[in-house]
């Protein structure tokens, strides 16, 4: 079946530190891959996506590259801010299906 595995949190960083949140997946075919973010008190929002191998999704300084050979979609940001504190979810949409399969989420806490 389809599954997404994320690194467990919380991840605690100082402002301006480099961020990596690991995500690996299991799926047949060529799924689309997503990172969603949930800020405190808000609903899930799409952060970035990639729909085919070697695509790089980017938004708000965050990046992730679709690596089919390692079945990974790691999230990175060069310099985090306090406002990036949130829960980050990696997700996939299998080929030919609409439903998203989510990882368990990684809480990021950025300290000033």
C-alpha closest to that of 108 among 70, 71, 62: 62
When the beta carbons of 52 and 78 are compared against another protein, the nearer one is 52
Is residue 31 within the footprint of another protein (CB under 8 A)?
A: yes
- Residue 95 binds to another protein (criterion: CB under 8 A): yes
Containing 12, the helix (H) or strand (E) segment is strand 11-14
Q: Is 1 in the site for another protein (CB under 8 A)?
A: no
Please check whether residue 55 is in contact with residue 39, taking contact to mean a CB–CB distance below 8 angstroms.
no
Does residue 98 belong to the site contacting another protein (CB under 8 A)? yes
* Of residues 11 and 17, the one with the C-beta less far from another protein: 11
Instruction: Report in angstroms how near the CB of residue 65 gets to another protein at its nearest.
Output: 15
Per-residue tokens: 94: 């299998």
Per DSSP bridges, beta strands 56-59 and 62-65 are antiparallel
Closest CA to 62 of 37, 40, 39, 82: 37
Residues 57-86 that bind another protein (CB under 8 A): none
Residues interacting with another protein, by CB under 8 A? Answer: 4, 31-32, 34, 36, 42-46, 49-51, 89, 91, 93-105
């Amino acid at each position: 079946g389809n599954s997404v595995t994320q690194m467990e949190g919380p991840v605690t960083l100082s402002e301006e530190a480099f961020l990596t949140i690991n995500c690996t997946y299991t799926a047949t075919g060529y799924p689309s891959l997503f990172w969603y973010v949930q800020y405190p008190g808000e609903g899930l929002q799409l952060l970035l996506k990639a729909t085919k191998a070697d695509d790089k999704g980017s938004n708000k300084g965050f990046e992730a590259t679709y690596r089919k050979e390692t079945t990974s979609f790691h999230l990175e940001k060069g310099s985090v801010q306090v406002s990036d504190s949130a829960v980050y979810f990696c997700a996939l949409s299998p080929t030919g299906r609409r439903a998203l399969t989510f990882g368990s989420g990684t809480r990021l806490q950025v300290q000033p």
